Amino acid sequence: MTTPAAAARTQSQGDASPAPAADGTGRPLSRARAGARRVLASRRAAAGLALLGLLALLAVAGPFVSPWRWDDTDLTAFRAPPSSEHWFGTTQSGRDVFALSVRGLRRSLAIGLCVAVLSTGLAAAVGTVAGFAGGWTGRCLMWGVDVLLVLPSFLVVAVLSPLLGGRWPLLVPLLAAFLWMVTARVVRAMTVSLREREYVLAARFLGVGAPRVIVRHILPHLASLLVVDASLNVSVAIVTESGLSYFGFGVRPPDVSLGTIIADGRGTATTHPWLFGFAAALLVLVVLAVNLLGDGLRDVLDPTSSGPAPRTGGRVRRRARPGNARAHEYGTGPA
């Protein structure tokens, strides 16, 4: 029963760029540490991680640095432009835009991460089970997916949002419940096609149980899709939340989110750009950082794509560039 698993592992490693097999001590690296090392070697993932770290730092440390609290009002400064006293300026009612933006950033980060983990996990579970089991199980699961998919998510969230009463953690399962269906369908379609592959058939004929086949042989092949999907879901969740808040259906006053700040500032964006610009920039930066990280992870984790490779490999490939598309013709570049 270990044979097919081992075979699959050798196969996937045969395709991948040569991983650093040992560190200085000669001890073999654990999978996790090898993975972490390669993630950091990917410039994109590292950049995304750094940017995300900076934003998280801002979100956590911001309230301690700023002299103003998010719900303070400065009655001496209405719509004041950025100054040494109010770093990002003030709103129409004299609230400090920096403190407000940091508060909104915290909301966005927390909601985005929780929703993505929840929805991608759900999509992977339902999609693989439906695709692998087939028959009535698969059909019923897909009906469930289809019903949720045609149910207008925006309406449901918009209609239910007053019931949340401003408790934003309740928004998380609500958003996650409407994010996973499309991915589940894609995962199912890919599982149906993977199910007929020789190594999966071999494992099944050797008597490996369905859950184990899914976890060891099917999920690893979906890893790149799921990682990219989770990263996209973080950004989709953040954007959806801010969109709902923009219309007044998500986070509601007196609480703030980046969406509510942008909605308040958009009307006067040409004359008072700081009311709109800083929150919008933070929103864009968060989403950008998450996406960079996700795509960098994809390059590293996906055994079939030509990965970022160790430094030397990159140099070799760059030298080989005049040979047109040769690197692709013979499998991966850095071999």
Partner 1 sequence: MAAFLLRRLAGHAVLAVLAASLAYLLAAAALDPRADFEDRAPRPPASAIDAELSRLNLNDRTPVLRRYRTWAGGVARGDFGRTWQGEPVNAEMWRRTWVSLRLLLPGAVLGCVLGVLLGAYAAVRHGRAADRAITFASYLLLAVPVFVLAALLQIAASEVNDLAGVRVFEWVGESSPGAGEGAFGALGGFGDRLRHLLLPTVTVALAQLALYVRYQRGTMLDVLNADFVRTARAKGLRWRSALLRHGLRTAMIPMTTYFAYTSGLLLLGAMFTEKIFGWHGLGEWLIDSITRGDVNVVAAVNCLAAGCVLLAGLVSDVVNGFLDPRVRVGAA
% helix, strand, coil for the chain, step of 5: 70, 0, 30
Separation of CA 302 from chain center: 16
Q: From the CB of 299, what's the least distance to partner 1, in Å? A: 9
Q: What's the CA angle centered on 124, arms 226 and 331, to 5 degrees? A: 40
Q: Does 247 bind partner 1 (CB under 8 A)?
A: yes
Q: Does 198 bind partner 1 (CB under 8 A)?
A: no
Identity of the residue, 59 or 287, whose beta carbon is nearer to partner 1 in the bound complex: 287
Q: Of these, 75, 270, 319, 323, which contacts partner 1 (CB under 8 A)?
A: 270
* Contact partners, residue 49, CB within 8 Å, separation at least 6: 39, 289, 293, 296
Any idea which residue has 């998280």 for tokens? 56
Q: How many residues bind partner 1 (CB under 8 A)?
A: 63
Q: Does 186 bind partner 1 (CB under 8 A)?
A: yes
Residue range at the interface with partner 1 (CB under 8 A); choices 6-14, 31-39, 119-127, 240-248: 240-248
Rule CB under 8 A: which of 21-40 touch partner 1?
A: none
Q: Where are the alpha helices (DSSP H) in 42-180?
A: 43-65, 97-133, 135-150, 153-164, 171-176
Tokens found for residue 54: 């900076």
Nearest to 275 by CA among 130, 91, 138, 148: 91
Rule CB under 8 A: which of 37-96 touch partner 1?
A: none
> What is the spatial distance between Cα 282 and Cα 131, in angstroms, rounded to a whole number?
39
Residue range at the interface with partner 1 (CB under 8 A); choices 22-30, 94-102, 145-153, 208-216: 145-153
Q: Does 262 bind partner 1 (CB under 8 A)?
A: yes
Tokens found for residue 131: 């695709």
Residue range at the interface with partner 1 (CB under 8 A); choices 24-32, 81-89, 124-132, 190-198: 190-198
Identity of the residue, 68 or 282, whose beta carbon is nearer to partner 1 in the bound complex: 282
Q: What's the CA angle centered on 327, arms 325 and 329, to 5 degrees? A: 75
Distances from the Cα of 287 to the Cα of 56, 91, 125, 244, 316, angstroms: 12, 25, 26, 16, 33
Q: Does 224 bind partner 1 (CB under 8 A)?
A: yes
Q: Does 268 bind partner 1 (CB under 8 A)?
A: no
> What is the spatial distance between Cα 190 and Cα 136, in angstroms, rounded to a whole number?
18
Q: Does 182 bind partner 1 (CB under 8 A)?
A: yes
Identity of the residue, 73 or 305, whose beta carbon is nearer to partner 1 in the bound complex: 305
> What is the spatial distance between Cα 218 and Cα 256, in angstroms, rounded to a whole number?
42
Residue range at the interface with partner 1 (CB under 8 A); choices 20-28, 75-83, 121-129, 324-332: 324-332
Separation of CA 217 from chain center: 23
Point out which residues bind partner 1 (CB under 8 A): 15, 143, 146-147, 149-152, 154-156, 158-160, 182, 185-186, 189-190, 192-193, 196, 224-225, 228, 232, 235, 239, 242-243, 246-249, 262-263, 266, 269-270, 276, 280, 283-285, 287-288, 291-292, 295, 298, 302, 304-306, 317, 321, 325, 328-333
